[in-house]
Amino acid sequence: MMFGLNKESCVEGNDVKIVSWNVKGLGHIIKRGKVFSHLKSLKADVIFLQETHRNINNQQTLRAKWISQVYQAPFTSKARGVAILFKKNVSFCPDSVVADPYGRYLIVTGQINSIPITLLNIYAPNVDNPDFFKNVFNLIPTVTANIIIGGDFNCFLDIFLDRLSTKAPSNIRSVQTLNDLIKTRNLIDIWRLQHP
């Protein structure tokens, strides 16, 4: 999922291409090479990765010649971990970084091409935990004019549009909380905007 602050910034913000991908582990060098090759082919300017499975000792493995900056919230080599990567042609100047010690979220605030922005990458728990979303959203600076939130939320915003199963979702409280936070923050589901 990917959210932006308002419809205008989502539509007109096509100058910077952002990709979000749950890579389900980057421990093996061959898989890491294939992932980075595919990411390069997508020509993304900013990349949100979830489940990097990187720990504090092997963070350098997320570097590539075409990437200029890497920000991470690692956890272990077997679980979690999120990262935000910037392509070399992106002029990003960081102001602050908030990295979850449990590898669940990463908030990077700064400027892209002199425009203030907050980027939030989430890898949410796969259980019904509405407090997770409340706590993370409370960390977002309220003065930020441009917010991009992406990641693996482990839930569906609309059970009729976003899933095939007819079985009721087990994380209904998280879904309701996330939808409330999106509405309160005046965020737009970028995917839904581009694919009605």
Q: How far apart are CA 26 and CA 177, in angstroms?
A: 31
Q: What's the Rg (C-alpha) of the chain?
A: 16
Query: Is 113 labelled as part of a ligand binding site?
Result: no
How many CB atoms are located within 10 Å of the residue 178 CB?
Answer: 24
Q: Distance between CA atoms of 91 and 117, rounded to whole angstroms? A: 12
Q: Tell whether residue 146 is among the known ligand binding residues.
A: no
> Is 154 labeled as ligand-binding?
yes
d(CA 115, CA 59): 28
Whole-number Å distance between alpha carbons of 108 and 72: 10
Using DSSP's 3-state secondary structure scheme, residue 163 falls into coil
Give the burial class of 58: count Cβ atoms within 10 A of its Cβ; 0-12 exposed, 13-18 middle, 19 or more buried.
Answer: middle
Residues annotated within a binding site: 22, 51, 152, 154
Residues annotated within a binding site for Mg(2+): 22, 51, 152, 154
